[in-house]
Chains A and B, each alone.
Chain A
Amino acid sequence: MLLTAYIQWHYTRALTEMVSIGKTIVWFLYHFFSISILAKTLFAPFKRLDEKGGRRLQPDVLAVNIIMRVVGFTLRFLVLLLGLLFILLVVTGVVLVYLLWIAMPALLGALCIAPLLLFL
């Protein structure tokens, strides 16, 4: 009775819950690495640190502002890259676990038979 209920759950609810957990982890990584805000402000000066210039072009002010934007871009880009990498890893992991889960009863059977085969 319990076994039938389990098998039914294993191939229905368990699979949808797994997808939902996978989605939650991707959501978490997306927010943890601030992906949306970093992408929107990718080229903005780091922490809005910039110099205000006058009407005429001032090379030193321009240089500072360019540097702050470059610093901002580099740091943001690195974090973005790291975040996307993690998301990719998680998505791959979820797919693998999903497949493993489907094959689990067969895998368990194989693992139980394997010792016998080793000694035969």
Chain B
Amino acid sequence: MILREVYNTARFYQHAITLNRYIPRFLRTLVFLIASLLLTAIGITFLIDKFYRNILSDFYISLILSVGALLLVAWFLVLMASAFWNSFYFRVLGLSSKSTQARCTYELAEIILLGNENTYTHSFLSSEIGRKIFLRCGVEKDDIASFLAQYNSQIPLDMSVTVEGEPVVGVPEFVQALLVADTQLIQFLSRHEIQEKELLSATTWVMRGIQNKKRKSRFWSREQLGLVKGLAKNWSYGRAYTLEKFATTRREAPTLEEIKNVVRSEDVSRLEEVLARNRESNALLTGRYQEGLDEVVRKLSIKITSGRVLPELEHKQIFFLDGSLLLSSVKDKNDFETILSTILSETMYAGNIILAITHFPQFVSGAHEISSDVIELLDEYVRSGVIQFIATAETGIFHQVLEQDRRIRDHFEQIQVTSIDREGLMRELQTEALLLEKMYPVSFTIQSISAVIQSAERYFNAKTSLDAGLDLLNDVVGWVGQRGESLITDEHIYAVVEEKTGIKAGKVGDEERQQLMQLEKILHKRIVGQDEAIDAIAHALRRARSGIGNPNRPMGSFLFLGPTGVGKTEVAKTLAKTFFKSDDKLIRFDMSEYANEDALERLIGSFATGTSGILASMIREKPYGVLLLDEFEKAHSTVHNLFLQILDEGYFSDMRGERVNARNMIIVATSNEQADVIWDISSKNKKLSDHYDEIISSAIKNNVFRPELLNRFDGIILFHPISNANKEGIADKILREIQLRMKEKGITLVITDELRGVVANAHTDPKFGARAMNRFAQEKIEQVIADKIIQGEIKPGAIVELSEKDIQ
């Protein structure tokens, strides 16, 4: 259909819309209620007079009956008008468009018929729905009015408006066509920083809200009546009393929203098909619990309760067996097997139970520890098909424990559960936002929902995107509530994200902009020299903050090469302090401790011993920060392989096969490798950057790092040995740190040129870098001051000035 035809299509609804314009819904309802009340009163009066007391004269009786007759006419007329309007209003609900001649929705017709075919955009923006959609985009009524006042576009009417597979045109398709046809509208959007896809998403969101309301108000529909739970459903099935002690099931009736989400889910349909088969109707779901593995089973349970399920599964009930509870409450193998057998025979006898066992591999392993073979115990029931099973397993551990078992392979259909896609996520979050808006005086913009999705995917990978998104939505409601605001925008979401993670997201503010532009200066306050390193890091940080970096990799990854004591570790610390605003955000590993064969197990954990890995635990504990890997070259080759994946994908799997996310970390590996080469080049006063390739090739030739590992770092940064020019600067920095510590004791240390010179000259062996100066400051200056404090020569409030002689 082309845009020009939409007007004619909309005329299908013209009579209903006209009727509703003159006698609106609330007026019809009002007349209906008043007429009903009066008719009842007249009826009662008439009956009392007729059968109880004859006090009214014939004239009054005739009058009452006449009024009654006219009221009845009004009552019927209102009823008929409502039925007529309803017949059009509910015609297209997105469900049954086949049976209707309507080619567009009622809501679209209402918009279109506001004006004529040359004023589509005008009609859209003046309509109630248009205003609602733009409010979702954060545009107020007044802005729309001023735009319309100067609007003068003539849109080309030969634009197509039908989306493939949709025989009925709705508001979203219409808006999509307007976006192609109307440049003035697009300019209006860009003035308000609204992307086209955001307007479309807001449109679908608003329309979904309206459709939901419509569906609910149509109480006589099969959809609504089907929600009522019937009588005597379980009279024909037995109960499994022992199972009920160790399992949970869903008893309450599902809501309409829950059902709609379930009906669309592909994974649920696949599970349903497997369970409805005649034989081998057991399912093994693999995937990630974080991505809603259990959720699929729960959704099927909702689908069954709602009655919209294949006939084979009608009246079935899914019980979730808690394997760990069962294992922890038995004394020994015999006890376990007796209880499990009772559960299984009761389940079989009940006749309508599907047994779901979550964390199935763990259940099997747990039972194995008390020498019991769960799979063997279940085998008879599985093979004969008298009980249906659903087992769920994390993919990694499934491969380790179950994949090789024939009994599982033969009788369970494996279903790989996929994670929710962006569109699904958007839909779920919009539904949740609507619920929150009903409960609290807030309203969400579409940009805020997009920000929630982005943040959930980027910063909260420990949970599913959906869980993280839902949490974020709920948190932001409380956050704006405390500040007395009501319209939730993307900036509110980013503020909450920053509060939770310490990472700045969203638009860059003025103060932050200044800070980012002067990052090099800020970093130089803590690091003396090393200009190339500082430049590279500052660039990486700006890239990360602008949001253009790859979200599927760590925020930044660097390999610092250079001699000892030149500030490699200090740079990493400064990075934590500058970017994450805290020294605590640094996780430090001395990789020389991970040089043996057991290194990998110590880092990611061991399935055999059940111990968790230190790297996995640390990153889970502090998912946002700097991961510093000192002396990286000394780590075992298996550890290097692990980091191949971390640097590339931004995550790794721990011993349980669960993902550990390192995408919100800046990874810094340091190494003294090639220090000699670097030293040689620097001592000849040559620029390190000119010899970059030479240094890297030498590291590869020595088999320290493999080329593929080096390639995965965002940057390999070469650190210069400390030059004479920088010596004084470093000495000054060391002395200032001592000065700061002494200030806390109330003592003022005066830093003189002489003192600075003494410390700088302690840098006698350049191969030890600034460490020599640090040691000197500790052993000499701090020692002298400490002695003087103990001897009582320096007291709080004193001003201390040290000469070269004092230190000698």
Minimum CB–CB distance from A105 to chain B (whole Å) comes to: 10
| Cβ contact within 8 Å between B80 and A33 | no
| Cβ contact within 8 Å between B232 and A33 | yes
* Interface status of A104 (Cβ within 8 A of chain B): yes
Minimum CB–CB distance from A19 to chain B (whole Å) comes to: 13
| Cβ contact within 8 Å between A75 and B232 | yes
| A115 to B, closest residue via Cβ | B66
| Cβ contact within 8 Å between A33 and B87 | no
| Cβ contact within 8 Å between A104 and B76 | yes
| Cβ contact within 8 Å between A37 and B73 | no
Minimum CB–CB distance from A75 to chain B (whole Å) comes to: 7
A75 to B685, CA, bound (A): 101
| Cβ contact within 8 Å between B77 and A34 | no
| Cβ contact within 8 Å between A38 and B235 | yes
For chain B, residues 76 to 93, give those with C-beta under 8 angstroms from any C-beta of chain A.
76-77, 80, 83-84, 87
| Cβ contact within 8 Å between B238 and A47 | yes
| B64 to A, closest residue via Cβ | A118
Mask: chain B, 57-87; 1 = CB below 8 Å from A; 0 = not = 0000010011101101100110010011001
Minimum CB–CB distance from A82 to chain B (whole Å) comes to: 9
A10 to B87, CA, bound (A): 11
| Cβ contact within 8 Å between A32 and B62 | no
| B58 to A, closest residue via Cβ | A118
Minimum CB–CB distance from A120 to chain B (whole Å) comes to: 10
For chain B, residues 341 to 374, give those with C-beta under 8 angstroms from any C-beta of chain A.
349-351
Q: A32-B231, A47-B234, A79-B232 are in contact. Are A25 and B69 (CB under 8 A)?
A: no
Q: A9-B84, A108-B73 are in contact. Are A49 and B232 (CB under 8 A)?
A: no
Which of B221-229, B517-525, B583-591, B765-773 has 4 or more CB atoms under 8 Å from chain A? B221-229
Q: Which residues of B contact A9 (CB under 8 A)?
A: 84, 87
* Interface status of A92 (Cβ within 8 A of chain B): no
| Cβ contact within 8 Å between A47 and B235 | yes
A76 to B234, CA, bound (A): 11
Q: Which residues of A contact B15 (CB under 8 A)?
A: 1-2, 5-6
| Cβ contact within 8 Å between B307 and A111 | no
A28 to B222, CA, bound (A): 7
* Interface status of B233 (Cβ within 8 A of chain A): yes
Bin the interface of chain B by size. 35 or more
Q: Which residues of A contact B232 (CB under 8 A)?
A: 33-34, 38, 75-76, 79
For chain A, residues 16 to 56, give those with C-beta under 8 angstroms from any C-beta of chain B.
17, 21, 24-25, 27-28, 31-34, 37-38, 40-41, 44, 46-49
A111 to B509, CA, bound (A): 73
B interface SS class: helix
Which of B67, B236, B237 has the most C-beta atoms of chain A within 10 angstroms of its own C-beta?
B236
A88 to B699, CA, bound (A): 90
| A17 to B, closest residue via Cβ | B87
Q: Which residues of A contact B307 (CB under 8 A)?
A: 31
Partner of B225, one of A13, A14, A28, A119: A28
Minimum CB–CB distance from B221 to chain A (whole Å) comes to: 7
* Interface status of B220 (Cβ within 8 A of chain A): yes
| Cβ contact within 8 Å between A34 and B231 | yes
A33 to B225, CA, bound (A): 13
* Interface status of B19 (Cβ within 8 A of chain A): yes
Q: Which residues of B contact A27 (CB under 8 A)?
A: 222, 225
Which of A41, A72, A111, A114 has the most C-beta atoms of chain B within 10 angstroms of its own C-beta?
A111
* Interface status of B270 (Cβ within 8 A of chain A): no
Partner of A14, one of B66, B67, B87: B87
* Interface status of A112 (Cβ within 8 A of chain B): yes
| Cβ contact within 8 Å between A32 and B228 | yes
Minimum CB–CB distance from A4 to chain B (whole Å) comes to: 9
Partner of B70, one of A17, A46, A79, A111: A111
For chain B, residues 219 to 264, give those with C-beta under 8 angstroms from any C-beta of chain A.
220-222, 225-226, 228, 230-239
A32 to B253, CA, bound (A): 14
| A32 to B, closest residue via Cβ | B230
Q: A2-B15, A34-B233 are in contact. Are A24 and B69 (CB under 8 A)?
A: no
Q: Which residues of A contact B702 (CB under 8 A)?
A: none
| B65 to A, closest residue via Cβ | A118
Partner of B72, one of A72, A76, A111: A111
| Cβ contact within 8 Å between B66 and A31 | no
Q: Which residues of B contact A46 (CB under 8 A)?
A: 235
Mask: chain A, 91-113; 1 = CB below 8 Å from B; 0 = not = 00000000000001001100110
Could you list which residues of chain B lie within 8 angstroms of chain A, going by C-beta atoms?
A: 15, 18-19, 62, 65-67, 69-70, 72-73, 76-77, 80, 83-84, 87, 220-222, 225-226, 228, 230-239, 307, 315, 349-351
CB-defined A-B contacts under 8 Å, sample of 6: A2-B19, A24-B220, A28-B225, A32-B231, A72-B235, A119-B62
Q: When A and B form their complex, which 5 residue pairs have the shortest distance between CB atoms, in order from nearest?
A: A115-B66, A48-B238, A41-B236, A28-B225, A118-B62
Could you list which residues of chain A lie within 8 angstroms of chain B, going by C-beta atoms?
A: 1-2, 5-6, 9-10, 13-14, 17, 21, 24-25, 27-28, 31-34, 37-38, 40-41, 44, 46-49, 72, 75-76, 79, 104, 107-108, 111-112, 114-115, 118-119
Other A-B contacts than A14-B87, A41-B235, A79-B232, 9 sampled, CB-CB below 8 A, are A9-B84, A28-B222, A31-B226, A34-B235, A46-B235, A48-B351, A111-B69, A112-B73, A114-B65
